[in-house]
A and B are shown apart, each in its own frame.
Chain A
């Protein structure tokens, strides 16, 4: 749907010579539209409060809060950009920005960003929003994938509890899920892999898997090497050899696994850090759960993420004011409020030091300890990646995890079919 809409819009609107709307400049206070994708109760509240605080202290620059939706943000933004109706400040995720950045819809923030903000956010996070020579968004919230575990089950089993300092290796993880499996429908782990590609690629960074290799000519090719095998092989073997992973959850989303987790069917579920909010809300009384780091490989706890971002529309006549608002929104104490509201980690180094994010309650401390290991997701700036993901990698990984194909065929499909797709985008 997204691709089709994008193609049609680009073609037709290009032919129509659609121009951007008025600049809205003139006398009187400046009004900026801030489209937020906050959706959880605390998160919406935090965003709206911050907008109010800004408006109370900046009579000349009024910010209007506009509620957007993750479900439809790409199509909605695309039509807004083409119609010259885009919001001034845009909340999105870094893996959705490439098309907009290369399409000239987003402002290059390189020279607009204040030094404070630039230095507060680590370079590894900026890489997620850097396309070509420009920076097209401010990464501000991110979430690692963690293991949410049934604490009672783990304690009773006597297995070593991993910490960010002493995580499980992938081999140890496989061994432990095998030990935790009790047969009769009880599994050591439930992998919710409805979207298998990003989960696999992001976790593979820990084992040194890169999959996408950029040559001296700037062209990217796919090579499924030994380091890329570690994570998929572990999952495959858990599900098909050891039977320590539930085969039925492989096609499920994260939320779908929670009833089984609460019901004692699975000892652990690998989930995004923000799922803790749902778990805290839905867990039955007396159910004890804990957050564990994902297993580590040759590259330690490294993991790919696509941070949430704030960008400025290229068409906005008030880019400086928009960046000033972003700077306000992402002051360390405000970043903490946004992070707490979304149950995610802030990218800012000062915000990460806040005691509220270092408490053991709800696993905050474990997540915060992982922040330094988070990297830009491996392929988000590779052109052609969405098509490769949808047409090649998703079915290939799904078939591999279900046991329908072996590792050799997985490699062949990812490489052979994948490189054909990428080649079309790199002519």
Chain B
């Protein structure tokens, strides 16, 4: 199907508008992070700081243990992503390849579980973790993040597995490859982009998560970045805007970096998952 020149221009304009819409809050955040308090109080705000300053970053680091919190967030997010993928991958394979009633019920349950409000989930989790002695511990938090990310990870991966033609596995079997060899040599490489995309999803979910971390972590040494960011907000929502923006800007960087590094694989993975065999 050919698209007219006007239509194509319209598409590009819409895409550009969408990109600008997505980028504006982030660019504004960066702008605030480099502005002095006087510029922040100006009636006529500018996109570019007139007198750029690093004071907000200095103050943010002086006031709060941002590096330690970022380290905690990184550990929790990496741990959650890794474990979620390790658990979800074989489960997804079974659910995709063996379309039994049980698999269908499991898929339904995965979908329904996404509708649960956060506060319903935290109660049983809190009690279980307390009995296990895992309150105020990063392993406990990782466990929660895995539980939280698992349904959607599973759902994503089932789609990716279904996109890998079963005929390839059958051909490998005909050629004499065993089940394990087929999985490792044939299925896994084709599934890799999907696994990476799923891991990234789990990572970002855990990296940005606030409520579980707030409730489950008690001591400052364990707190994650989203929790520490709230320390820049005072009573009645008054915020120390400059340092808050500086800290929030730093908090977004790891996600952006990870995303930038593996975005090509993700795109490939998403396309793979989108095509029906």
Chain A positions near chain B (C-beta within 8 angstroms): 1, 4-5, 8-9, 12-13, 16, 18, 21, 33, 37, 39-41, 44, 64-72, 75-76, 79-80, 82-85, 87, 93, 195, 253-255, 258-260, 262-263, 265, 272, 274-275, 278, 281-285, 308
CB–CB A71/B230 < 8 A? yes
**Hey, which chain B residues are within 8 Å of A84, CB to CB?**
130
Interchain CA distance A72-B226 in the complex, whole Å: 12
> Are A258 and B41 within 8 A (Cβ)?
yes
B120–A67 CB distance below 8 A: no
How far apart are the CA atoms of A37 and B232 in the complex, in Å?
Answer: 10
How many angstroms from the CA of A27 to the CA of B63 in the assembled complex?
34
Is the beta-carbon distance between B218 and A85 smaller than 8 angstroms? yes
Q: Are B219 and A83 in contact (CB under 8 A)?
A: no
Which B residues touch A18, using CB under 8 A? 127, 130
A39 touches B123 (CB 8 A): no
Which A residues touch B220, using CB under 8 A? 65-67
Q: A39-B232, A76-B214, A254-B236 are in contact. Are A67 and B127 (CB under 8 A)?
A: no
Q: Which of B72-80, B151-159, B170-178, B237-245 contacts A (4 or more CB under 8 A)?
A: B237-245
Asked whether any CB of chain A lies closer than 8 Å to the CB of B233, the reply is yes
Is B59 an interface position by the 8 A CB rule? yes
In the complex, the answer to whether A66 meets B219 with C-beta atoms within 8 Å is yes
Enumerate chain A residues within 8 angstroms of B127, measured Cβ to Cβ. Answer: 13, 16, 18
Within 8 Å by CB of B43, from A37, A40, A69, A262, lies: A262
Are A255 and B238 in contact, CB atoms less than 8 angstroms apart? yes
Beta-carbon contacts under 8 Å, B24-68 to A: 37-38, 40-45, 59, 62-64
Which of B41, B62, B223 makes the CB contact (< 8 A) with A262?
A: B41
Residue on B with the closest CB to A285?
B38
Q: Is residue B234 within 8 Å, beta carbon to beta carbon, of the partner chain?
A: yes
The chain B residue with its CB closest to the CB of A308 is: B235
Distance from A384 Cβ to chain B, minimum over Cβ atoms (Å): 22
B214 near A72 with CB under 8 A, answer: yes
- Does B274 make an interface contact (CB < 8 A)? no
Q: CB within 8 Å of A: which of B136-155?
A: 136
Task: Indicate if the CB atoms of B130 and A253 lie closer than 8 Å.
Answer: no
Is residue B126 contacting chain A, with contact meaning CB distance below 8 A? Answer: yes
**How far is it, in angstroms, between the C-alpha of A272 and the C-alpha of B234 when the chains are bound?**
13
A80 near B43 (CB under 8 angstroms)?
Answer: no
Find the B residue at minimum CB distance from A306: B235
Chain A nearest Cβ from B90, distance in angstroms: 33
**Interchain CB contact (< 8 A) of A83 among B130, B231, B238:** B130
- Establish whether residues B230 and A13, one from each chain, have CB atoms under 8 Å apart when the complex forms: no
Question: B residues near A, CB below 8 A?
Answer: 37-38, 40-45, 59, 62-64, 119-120, 122-124, 126-127, 130, 135-136, 214-215, 218-220, 223, 227-228, 230-241
Q: In the bound complex, do residue A93 and residue B233 qualify as a contact, i.e. CB atoms below 8 Å apart?
A: no
A273 → B minimal CB distance (Å): 12
From residue B137, how far is it (CB to closest CB) to chain A in Å?
12
Q: Which residues of the partner chain A approach B215 to less than 8 Å between Cβ atoms?
A: 75-76, 79
How close is A77's CB to chain B, nearest CB, in angstroms?
Answer: 10
Docked Cα-Cα span, A160 to B123, in Å, equals 59
The reply to whether A260 and B238 form a contact with Cβ atoms under 8 Å apart is no
Given the known interface contacts A72-B214, A85-B136, A259-B41, the answer about A272 and B236 at a Cβ–Cβ threshold of 8 Å is yes
Across the interface, B63 reaches (CB within 8 A) one of A41, A65, A79, A262, namely A41
Quick one: which of A4, A72, A274 has the most chain B CB within 10 A?
A72
Q: Can you list 27 A-B contacts with CB-CB less than 8 angstroms, sorted by A residue number?
A: A5-B119, A8-B123, A33-B218, A39-B231, A39-B233, A40-B234, A41-B59, A66-B220, A67-B228, A70-B235, A70-B236, A71-B230, A83-B135, A84-B130, A85-B130, A85-B135, A253-B236, A255-B238, A255-B239, A259-B43, A260-B43, A262-B41, A262-B43, A278-B238, A282-B40, A284-B38, A308-B235
Contacts of B59 in A (CB 8 A): 41
**Minimum CB–CB distance for A186 against chain B, Å:** 12
Contact assessment for A282 and B219 in the assembled complex, using a CB-CB cutoff below 8 Å: no
User: Within the complex, what minimum Cβ distance (angstroms) separates B32 from chain A?
Assistant: 13
A282 contacts B41, C-beta separation under 8 Å: yes
Given A66-B218, A79-B126, A281–B231 Cβ distance below 8 Å?
no
Least CB distance from B222 to A in Å reads 11
The smallest beta-carbon distance between B49 and chain A, in angstroms, is 14
Q: Which of B41, B62, B63, B120 contacts A8 (CB 8 A)?
A: B120
A65 vs B123: C-alpha distance when bound (angstroms): 27
**Chain B residues in 8 Å Cβ range of A82:** 126
Interface centre among B42, B62, B235 (most CB of A within 10 A): B235
User: Which residues of chain A have C-beta atoms less than 8 A from B228's C-beta?
Assistant: 67
> B44 to chain A: which residues have CB within 8 Å?
263
CA distance A65 to B232 in the complex (A): 17
Measured between alpha carbons, how far is A255 from B237 in the docked complex, in Å? 9
**How far is the CB of B58 from the nearest CB of chain A, in Å?**
11
Known: A13-B123, A67-B64. 5 other contacts (CB 8 A): A18-B130, A70-B233, A80-B218, A253-B236, A282-B40
Complex-state Cα separation, A67 to B214, whole angstroms: 11
